[in-house]
Structure 1
Amino acid sequence: MFDIGFLELVLIAVLALLVLGPERLPHAARTAGRWVGKAKRMASNLTEEVDRQLKAEELRERIKEAGDDIKVEEVQNTIQAALDKAEEFKHMVNRDASVEQLDIAPAATSAPSQSTPAEKPATPSTSAIDNSTQSSIAKDS
C-alpha cells in the first residue's frame, strides 16, 4: 500500500521505542493496529460497494438492451387479448356461481322449523302494560 520495506519498518520501530519508551510502546502499537484494521475494513467495504454498484448498473444496461429487443407493444397486445378472452368466459363463471347459490338456498329453507312453546318469546299482555302505566301515573301525581 505505502511500499514500505523491512528496513523502513525497523527504523520506525527504533524511533518509536526511543520517543515513546518501553512502557507506552505496546499501547501505542495496539492503537495503531486498531486504526490500520479499521482503515482496511473501510477500504474493503468501499470496494465491495463500488463493485455492487457496477454490477447493478451493468445489469440495468442488459435489461434495457433486452427490453429494446422485445417489442413492448406485442406484449401489451398479448395481455389485452388474454383479458378479452377472460371477459368472454366471465358469464360462465357468474352463471356457475348463481347455480351454486340456488342449490344451497333450497337446502337451507327445507330444514323443518321446530319451535316449542317454551322457545317462543313471551309477550306482555296489554292488561299488565295498562296496570304498570296506571301505577306510574299514580306515582307522578
Structure 2
Amino acid sequence: MFNLGAGEVIGLFIIGIVLVGPDRLPNIAADAARFLVKAKKMAQSATNELKDNLGPGYEDLQVKDLNPKTFIKKHIGDVIDKNDFDVKPKPKIDPDLL
C-alpha cells in the first residue's frame, strides 16, 4: 500500500524511538494501527453506501471508474476502436516549397 522497503521501515522505527521514546512507542503504534483499520472501514462503508444509493444497475461499479481521467480514456478508446480512423500524418514542410 505505501510501497516501503525494509530500510525505510527501519528508518521510521528509529525516528519513532527518538521522537516518542521506547516506552510509549508500542502504544502509539497500536493507536496508529487502529486508526488505519478504522479509516479503511470508513472508506469501505462509504463505497458500499454510494453503491446502495445509486440503485439497481450499478452493482458492478468500481470506485476507480468514477475517476474522470479513467472514464474519458475508457469511452474515447471505445469510440476510436469502433471507428478505426485512417489518419495520415501532415507534412511539416509545405511540399510546394520543395
User: Normalization by structure 1: what TM-score?
Assistant: 0.36
- Tell me which of the two structures has the higher relative contact order, counting C-alpha pairs closer than 8 angstroms and 6 or more residues apart: 2
Structure (1 or 2) with the greater helix fraction:
1
Which entry has the higher C-alpha Rg, 1 or 2? Answer: 1
User: Normalization by structure 2: what TM-score?
Assistant: 0.49
